[in-house]
A and B are shown apart, each in its own frame.
Chain A
């Protein structure tokens, strides 16, 4: 028995080793390095002195940092429902027996997922350009006034949200489709015999049974919304003003554009802690959910 245990233990560590090694070298070490940097005034070049907690003190009193954080949270909270509900509805629709051309629709909805943030930005800009964009052209054709998409903070945030949801809907839809296909057909048949309406079946059976998947989608969307960076860089560059400068972009600006790597590192440590707490709360709310089962 002990011998078998040893053999299994061997195999376990052997199988974990490659991922573990690469993860340690390219993730854990940089993580530690980042924490060390956060106590220095490193400028990306020759200066690097330990300055204790100064960076953290500065971060905690930096009103722009707070404002970027606040904007990030608002953005994440407002968008989260769309990120979860739209894929869910599409998945339900595209698993229904009544719907035709499912393969086509699923494929079409998935294609934007394949694009890089850069290309998503280019595509969305091309649609929503103020002067020569297609959307403003159509609005004018219908007799309206061109909309200054980049001018109003709310509109600019809307464009980013639209782009972000557009590029992720297919991904989450596929996760939902997989989960719906795993729900036993018997449950539905029984309900149908009992005369439960289609709408009731959705609310009373499908959605509750999909809770673990919804948790997964919620967690992934939350983290991705909080991390939103490349897309914003491609669409609004943080404008108008600083109204779409979210926290990761703020850190990047400080680090890369102003060479305040130490300060940027300190802010990123703060962010990591905040993100971890949010994820932890979501776990707790779900009481462990699928992850730890």
Chain B
């Protein structure tokens, strides 16, 4: 009797242990299933119905009779998750990413050997892949983005401000002064809002001639805590303090997003990026908005370019299929359709996209011209790949400066020390 019970208990234990074994076999069958042509795609956010990339994948699958399996992992989580996937030999066939190939260069296929990568605009290719030394092409661009200034046309009208033109841009001081005026007379709560991202803030630094690092022979010097940069940050802080900018965005501690503020008509000028053009175009109905050229600081105008690309991990099971997709995507007809859906700036030589709506087309003309204002300082900073070390930390220091926990100088000094320690570059 009692033995029987013990046996049944052992049975429970056996089931528990067996579960792990059963787990294994499950896994095997799922990888067997991949033999039929299914392309596993890693995206960074839940695709909306109008998501150009996702729709391109769908169209390709339909045309070629292949199947798709989409996995969504946000950029931040990708950094944690991707090495785990590699270790478990469970990588997607194609990855839409901004940073993974930079962090794990050995794990991705050199696309220049698989397809004609000379079709890509060279500058775009370098900026998007953040690769300035290698001849390898680890990612095929799928989005080329620029930081850009959106403005509320109605608020400008109310405050009696005329938007600057490509030939006659504002100075940074004019930008700040007009932001104050907008807050006063433009019937908006905030004159200026800047995304909570260092890639937006840094434009202010670059336009005043500052930089993160300077090239010193083969190595770099850390220059982030230069006087120029401290002054730029101090001005930024004072604009936050005086309420011209929504302070809560840059102090952290809130999930408020300046894009919502702008969409709701509460912001005069909004420093964001070209990828927000399409969402704003769909969501903004209460007022007219436009884009304006970047303002000139003490040195120059500045935009920061970036983007995302499609990369194929070396250990991907269906890498051939992934290459096949890339070749399909960059065919003239498909690419034009893709760019039109994405309302993106072209990253392929001789292919550009002109919107049917004349207002939109005019805005794109401005954006296209902004491409010239990618600064040398930015390119040097990118070459140093400092972000491999301390990307989030930089923004955290800026956040602490805006929140008043540290002084502008204190924050930049501390970050310079951290960066120097991690990278072995001297602080100059």
Do A and B have CB atoms closer than 8 angstroms in the complex? Answer: yes
A45 to B105, CA, bound (A): 13
| List of A residues within 8 angstroms of B396 by Cβ | 242
Q: Confirm or deny: A238 has a beta carbon within 8 angstroms of a beta carbon on chain B.
A: yes
Whether A240 and B83, one on each chain, are in contact in the complex, defined by CB atoms closer than 8 angstroms, is no
**Residues of B208-223 whose CB lies within 8 A of A:** none
CB distance from A102 to the nearest CB of B (A): 36
- Cβ-defined partner of A151 (8 Å) among B83, B253, B255: B253
Q: Confirm or deny: B9 has a beta carbon within 8 angstroms of a beta carbon on chain A.
A: yes
B12 to A, closest residue via Cβ: A18
- Cβ-defined partner of B80 (8 Å) among A129, A132, A149, A256: A256
Interface segment, one of B135-143, B243-251, B294-302? B243-251
Interface core residue of B252, B266, B400 (most chain A CB under 10 Å)? B252
CB distance from B89 to the nearest CB of A (A): 15
Whether B252 and A241, one on each chain, are in contact in the complex, defined by CB atoms closer than 8 angstroms, is yes
Q: Given A131-B266, A239-B254, A241-B405, is A148 in contact with B247 using a C-beta cutoff of 8 Å?
A: yes
B interface, by DSSP: helix, strand, loop or mixed? helix
Whether B256 and A18, one on each chain, are in contact in the complex, defined by CB atoms closer than 8 angstroms, is no
Whether B83 and A150, one on each chain, are in contact in the complex, defined by CB atoms closer than 8 angstroms, is no
A253 to B76, CA, bound (A): 11
Whether A131 and B256, one on each chain, are in contact in the complex, defined by CB atoms closer than 8 angstroms, is yes
CB distance from A249 to the nearest CB of B (A): 12
- Cβ-defined partner of B2 (8 Å) among A7, A235, A241, A256: A7
Q: Confirm or deny: B407 has a beta carbon within 8 angstroms of a beta carbon on chain A.
A: no
| List of A residues within 8 angstroms of B254 by Cβ | 125, 129-130, 149-151, 236, 239
- Cβ-defined partner of A21 (8 Å) among B2, B16, B189: B16
- Cβ-defined partner of A239 (8 Å) among B6, B83, B251, B260: B251
CB distance from A152 to the nearest CB of B (A): 8
A207 to B128, CA, bound (A): 65
B254 to A, closest residue via Cβ: A150
Q: Confirm or deny: B79 has a beta carbon within 8 angstroms of a beta carbon on chain A.
A: yes
A259 to B81, CA, bound (A): 12
**Residues of A229-265 whose CB lies within 8 A of B:** 235-244, 253, 256-259
Q: Confirm or deny: A30 has a beta carbon within 8 angstroms of a beta carbon on chain B.
A: no
A129 to B12, CA, bound (A): 50
| List of A residues within 8 angstroms of B351 by Cβ | none
CB distance from A253 to the nearest CB of B (A): 8
Interface core residue of A18, A150, A236, A241 (most chain B CB under 10 Å)? A241
| List of B residues within 8 angstroms of A14 by Cβ | 6, 9
Whether A239 and B256, one on each chain, are in contact in the complex, defined by CB atoms closer than 8 angstroms, is no
| List of A residues within 8 angstroms of B253 by Cβ | 149-151, 153, 156, 236-241, 243-244
A255 to B, closest residue via Cβ: B80
Q: Confirm or deny: B119 has a beta carbon within 8 angstroms of a beta carbon on chain A.
A: no
Chain A 142-174, CB within 8 Å of chain B: the 1/0 string?
000000111101001000000000000000000
A275 to B253, CA, bound (A): 27
Q: Confirm or deny: B238 has a beta carbon within 8 angstroms of a beta carbon on chain A.
A: no
Q: Confirm or deny: A17 has a beta carbon within 8 angstroms of a beta carbon on chain B.
A: yes
Chain A 201-240, CB within 8 Å of chain B: the 1/0 string?
0000000000000000000000000000000000111111
Interface residues on A, range: 35 or more
Interface residues on B, range: 35 or more
Q: Confirm or deny: B38 has a beta carbon within 8 angstroms of a beta carbon on chain A.
A: no
B82 to A, closest residue via Cβ: A45
Q: Confirm or deny: B404 has a beta carbon within 8 angstroms of a beta carbon on chain A.
A: yes
A43 to B, closest residue via Cβ: B83
Chain B 1-41, CB within 8 Å of chain A: the 1/0 string?
01000100100110010000000000000000000000000
Whether B248 and A236, one on each chain, are in contact in the complex, defined by CB atoms closer than 8 angstroms, is no
A210 to B403, CA, bound (A): 44
Q: Confirm or deny: A44 has a beta carbon within 8 angstroms of a beta carbon on chain B.
A: yes
A14 to B261, CA, bound (A): 62
| List of B residues within 8 angstroms of A236 by Cβ | 252-254
A125 to B260, CA, bound (A): 14
**Residues of B238-275 whose CB lies within 8 A of A:** 246-248, 251-256, 260-261, 264, 266
Whether A240 and B399, one on each chain, are in contact in the complex, defined by CB atoms closer than 8 angstroms, is yes
Q: Confirm or deny: A190 has a beta carbon within 8 angstroms of a beta carbon on chain B.
A: no
- Cβ-defined partner of A240 (8 Å) among B79, B252, B256: B252
A238 to B396, CA, bound (A): 10
Q: Confirm or deny: B165 has a beta carbon within 8 angstroms of a beta carbon on chain A.
A: no
**Residues of B61-89 whose CB lies within 8 A of A:** 76, 79-80, 83
A235 to B256, CA, bound (A): 11
Whether B399 and A132, one on each chain, are in contact in the complex, defined by CB atoms closer than 8 angstroms, is no
Whether A150 and B400, one on each chain, are in contact in the complex, defined by CB atoms closer than 8 angstroms, is no
Q: Given A44-B83, A132-B260, A256-B80, is A241 in contact with B6 using a C-beta cutoff of 8 Å?
A: no
| List of A residues within 8 angstroms of B104 by Cβ | 45
| List of A residues within 8 angstroms of B83 by Cβ | 44-45
Whether B12 and A150, one on each chain, are in contact in the complex, defined by CB atoms closer than 8 angstroms, is no
- Cβ-defined partner of A18 (8 Å) among B16, B390, B392: B16
A135 to B345, CA, bound (A): 41
Chain A 115-128, CB within 8 Å of chain B: the 1/0 string?
00000000001000
Question: Which A positions have Cβ atoms within 8 angstroms of B?
Answer: 7, 10, 14-15, 17-18, 21-22, 44-45, 125, 129-132, 148-151, 153, 156, 235-244, 253, 256-259
- Sort A-B residue pairs by CB-CB distance and give the 7 closest, nearest first: A239-B252, A150-B254, A239-B253, A150-B253, A241-B403, A240-B253, A240-B251
**27 A-B pairs in the complex with CB atoms less than 8 angstroms apart:** A18-B12, A21-B13, A21-B16, A22-B16, A45-B83, A125-B254, A129-B256, A130-B248, A131-B266, A132-B260, A149-B254, A156-B253, A236-B253, A239-B252, A239-B253, A239-B254, A239-B399, A239-B403, A241-B251, A241-B404, A242-B396, A242-B399, A242-B400, A243-B403, A257-B76, A257-B79, A258-B390
